[in-house]
Amino acid sequence: MSTGWSLYIAVVSIFNVVACLWLLWWTARQRAPAAPKSGASSGDAPTTGHEWDGIQEFNTPLPKWWLNLFYLTIAFGFVYFALYPALGNYSGTTGWTSAQEHDQQAAQADALIQPLFRAFADKPLEQLTQDAAALRLGRSVFANHCATCHGSDAQGAKGFPNLIDGDWLWGGEPEQVLTSILDGRNGAMPGLEAVIGADKVPAVAVYVQSLAGNKADPQLAAKGKPVFATLCAACHGVDGRGNPALGAPNLTDHVWLHGGDFNSIAHSIRAGRSGQMPAHRELIGVDRARLAAAWILSQQTASAAGQGGR
């Protein structure tokens, strides 16, 4: 804060408190001549002249104890000014700062929580997937850090893979899943319309549909096949079953990241697709990532069990 602002804040703050003090003193001075004793008739007390339905407003001073409470709060205000950083750049005699307090509390919370996670640090991932306590923690890590993209049930959304269907872009072995989480993944497919020619895109799209066993015009599909072999097989494999080293999806199953209808497939081919899984090593640390991985691995749906990775 510049000295100008600092001075401005200090002056306004002190002025306000002093003004309160003056107001109190001033109103206390304007004593009405005689306060009515309790039980005295209303005729003895001065009134403000305001009256409504026979109810008169008295003009009696505030009780002493009440006024003294006000003086006390003002004294408290000055003490506070001295102890805490309330006046611009002045840091207060206690040296307290909100940043310091936050760091302290964060460190305390960490110290409490870290041992919880560390207890599982030495156990192999496969073992964690069977450990109820580890899975409870893993679930909460997932809810806090992953659900925004993958959904609270880990079933994903368009462009964000379902993590519990047993179908993997980058491999479903425990170590592969952990690597996806810790180091992130970058799936990128270039737009190929210019290379293929706009007129041939529908044929290739239909061929992709036929790969997944969907009804497709066999003549069109046959036209698309050679294009697939030259341009797509490098990443998606000759048979279209994908390549976990590149994150290239298996096109022969019925799991689609970006949609499996003709238009979505044609769009994938024309414009390309990309998806980024951010690296979480720095964000959540290895211990938490392993718990999240264990939870995901424990959630693979029964139908997918035994199907294995891509």
Residues of the shown chain interacting with ligand HEC in the complex, contacts defined by CB under 6 A: 142, 145-146, 148-150, 159-161, 163, 168-170, 177, 180-181, 185, 187-190, 192, 196, 204, 208, 228, 231-232, 234-236, 246-249, 251, 256-259, 265, 268-269, 273-278, 280, 284, 292, 296
Calculate the alpha carbon distances from 53 to 45, 48, 56, 57, 271 in Å.
18, 15, 8, 11, 81
Query: Is the CB of 113 or the CB of 188 nearer to ligand HEC?
Result: 188
At 61, phi and psi to the nearest 5? -70, 160
Which one, 87 or 163, has the nearer CB to ligand HEC? Answer: 163
For ligand HEC, give the closer residue by CB, 137 or 208. Answer: 208
Looking at the Cβ atoms of 48 and 274, the one nearer to ligand HEC is 274
Closest to 292 measured CA to CA, from 186, 183, 181: 181
Burial code (b: 16+ CB inside 10 Å, e: under 16) for 95-123 equals eeeeeeeeeeeeeeeeeeeeeebeebeee
The least CB distance from residue 218 to ligand HEC, in Å, is 17
Instruction: List Cα–Cα distances, 68 to 28, 34, 35, 75, in angstroms.
Output: 11, 20, 18, 10
CB of 296 to ligand HEC, least distance (A): 6
Q: What's the min distance (Å) between Cβ of 306 and ligand HEC? A: 17
- Closer Cβ to ligand HEC, 139 or 150, answer by number: 150
Nearer to ligand HEC, 139 or 236 (CB): 236
The CA-CA-CA angle for residues 63, 65, 71, to 5°, reads 110
Residues in the chain: 310
Amino acid in the structure at residue 215:
K
Q: In whole angstroms, how close is the CB of 169 to ligand HEC at the nearest point?
A: 4
For the CB of residue 7, give the shortest distance to ligand HEC in the complex, in Å: 45
CB of 122 to ligand HEC, least distance (A): 20
Closest to ligand HEC by CB, 47 or 307: 307
Instruction: Work out how close the CB of 134 gets to ligand HEC at its nearest, in angstroms, rounded to a whole number.
Output: 14
Q: Which residues contact 167 (CB under 8 A, 6 or more apart)?
A: 250, 253, 255, 304, 307, 310
Output the furthest CA–CA distance in the chain (Å, rounded).
Answer: 111
